[in-house]
Chains A and B, each alone.
Chain A
Amino acid sequence: MTTVSLSGGPEPAVRAAVVSAPARTLERAWWQTHNAQRKIFGYTLLAPAALYVLLLVGAPFLFSLWLAVSDANVGDPVARFIGLENFRSAWEMDTFWIAMQNSVVFLVVAAIFKSLLGTSLAFLLLQNFRGKKLIRGLVVIPFTLPIAVSVLSWKWMYDSQFSVINWVLFHAGLIGGYGSESWPIWLGQPQLALAACIAVNVWRNFPFSAIVLLAGFTSVPLEVLDAAKVDGCTFFQRFRHVVVPMIFPILMIGLLFDTVFTLSDLSVVYLLTQGGPGNASKILPVLAYQIGIQAGNLGRGAAIALFLVPLLLPALFLVLRNLKRREY
């Protein structure tokens, strides 16, 4: 067959017809069966999305592993393998450890506040009252606004001199006038900068926790609660033994997603403080950006970004387990 087609030989079409005609009458070729056609059709439909993701997420991820062990630089297209040098130099950098510590503090403190605020809000929204839809629509605005947009609004509210927050605090008699020692400069004082960034993250994501929880609460069938009530359970018992076990998975998955989003977000800190003053609010993503793009040291930037992986991995693993369990 190949030789025929290679030599452009006579009538390949005729030959093909001769081969396939008896095949059709006797038994259809494997690719002609109904089952096989469905699979071919299916994988064809799947291919564009799968290829896109493989080429632009899978391959770059592997490429970032390569970058991290190379001396890749923006100016120099040829990268050499330098082993774990980038990881070692990051490891020995003071700024790296400050950023690592800030990232963990940021994550944990923000998660605590988001859980508390989110749970309270979810309980309130669970009640039936007039105007519920409108109020729900209003409280989720922080999560739906594009992040760069809302961070800029906060930057203006944190202004060193004309901060509206300070105006309120001043007129409530809680702080002294501008220039006095008790006038907080939210983004300029090392003790306040990270807290100010955390506050924005909490503000932005507590509605997310609330809505995820709300979905959890409303998925607890009322009959189960009623049954528990009939059986003589107190409100607290019902909450502890019926509601919590049923909503726990959904609460967990909300927190896991939030962890992934929060750990890898650079925009809040980058737009508010760029990690300053000094390194007071520097977190890993900001450091990776500054070293990788601004300083042009791709290799070391990639290595620093990869230090996020051990922090992300447990969350991703749990998400995965949850998704798998839900299939059945």
Chain B
Amino acid sequence: MAAPRTAREKEVRRDLLVYAGLTPFVLIAVFPIYWMLITAFKQEPDLYRMDNVPFWFNLPPTLKNFSTLFFQTHYGDWIVNTMTISAWVAVITLLTAVPAGYALARLRLPGSENIGIAIFMTYLVPGIILFLPLSRVVATLGLQDSWWALVVVYPTFTIPFCTWLMMGFFKTVPMEMEEAARVDGCGQFGAFIRVVLPVSLPGVLTSVIFAFTLSMQDFLYGLAFVSPGDQKPVPVGVPTELIRGDVYYWGSIMAAVLLVGLPVAVLYNFFLDRFIQGITGGVVK
């Protein structure tokens, strides 16, 4: 190829190079999702024929996998469980992490930096170390075999993360806003609720999203604490109930995980930068 003559040509060539480099990454990243999608709509016999090209439908697409899911399994229950658990976790997280983040970021408490770091570090204590003692806690509370166990347990990682996140948010709100509110006669609590909180709404919303998405990322606690079939959240119910022995209903399994996975992935995608910022920068941001 001749050397590029104009700046425009140069630019096009560079773009093409970048696309060529990115193509394998995109293919690797997206293929499993595509594979879930196509499997979910395929008829059973279409899944098990190696002589056809498997990347497209060889028999007409079907919704049977979805109807099986909703009418012959606990899938409906799992969706409801997942949503209810996440909603409770979000409420608990908001009620604790938002005030804590505010106190640590704004009220110049002695030792607040260290307390903040200590709380954040608990986010990094892995579930695999905590799940055995927590199984005892759950049993003591009489919550084993019910999804309420997960409502109690999930805040152990959403609270530290969201407290840290909210600390970062509150630090970006100008101090003058509160001072003005205090001068105008608001109490400390009033300044927090009526002035600082409304302008930090994006941060609060972000915390809610993370309470949802981080809850959805759990597998261990759900697996260890909830065994009745109708009490599980989706990520635990599908692999433990839809797989029986060596019989795999791949069509239904893929339909089941797709319905939940895709919305979570899209939602998380929008907030990914916040997550990265939260754990790498946090306070300083």
Contact = CB atoms under 8 A, between A and B. Distances in A.
B128 A135 contact: no
A37 B26 CA distance: 55
Contacts of A53: 119, 122, 156, 159-160
A215 B95 CA distance: 31
B241 to A, nearest CB: 12
B272 A48 contact: no
B110 to A, nearest CB: 8
Contacts of B265: 141, 144-146
Given A49-B119, A156-B35, A323-B120, A60 B113 contact: no
A267 B236 CA distance: 10
A31 interface: no
B124 A316 contact: yes
Contacts of A52: 92, 96, 155-156, 159
Q: Which label, helix, strand, loop or mixed, suits the secondary structure of the A interface?
A: helix
B188 A312 contact: no
B132 A146 contact: no
Contact of B219 (A147, A212, A327): A147
Contacts of B153: 56
B115 interface: yes
Nearest to B277: A215
Interface residues of A, number: 97
A96 to B, nearest CB: 15
Interface stretch (A21-29, A190-198, A258-266): A258-266
B220 interface: yes
Interface residues of B, number: 100
B48 to A, nearest CB: 6
A152 B92 CA distance: 30
A316 B121 CA distance: 8
Contacts of A39: 107, 109-110
Interface stretch (B1-9, B57-65, B67-75, B134-142): B134-142
Interface string A136-178: 0111111111111111111011010110100100100000001
Given A148-B235, A309-B129, A323 B254 contact: no
Given A56-B134, A263-B126, A138 B26 contact: yes
A111 interface: no
B153 to A, nearest CB: 7
B206 interface: no
Nearest to A53: B122
B257 A149 contact: yes
A305 B25 contact: no
Interface string B94-107: 01110110111001
Contacts of B235: 146-149
Contact of A327 (B113, B136, B163, B253): B113
Contacts of A212: 276, 280
B128 A153 contact: no
B260 A49 contact: no
B117 A324 contact: yes
B18 to A, nearest CB: 5
Interface stretch (A1-9, A123-131, A221-229, A238-246): A123-131
B165 interface: no
Interface string B12-29: 001100110110011011
B188 A215 contact: no
Given A211-B272, A284-B128, 17 more contacts: A41-B188, A52-B96, A52-B155, A57-B125, A58-B122, A60-B130, A137-B269, A139-B26, A144-B265, A148-B219, A149-B258, A153-B32, A156-B36, A156-B39, A159-B250, A288-B128, A323-B120
Interface of A: 37-39, 41-43, 45-46, 48-50, 52-53, 56-61, 63-64, 67, 72, 117, 120-121, 124-125, 127, 129-130, 135, 137-154, 156-157, 159, 161-162, 164, 167, 170, 178, 203, 207-208, 211-212, 215, 250, 253-254, 257, 260, 263-264, 266-267, 270-271, 284-285, 288-289, 292-293, 298, 301-302, 305-306, 308-309, 312, 316, 319-320, 323-324, 326-327
11 contacts: A38-B188, A49-B96, A56-B137, A60-B134, A67-B133, A127-B14, A146-B217, A146-B257, A146-B264, A164-B54, A257-B279
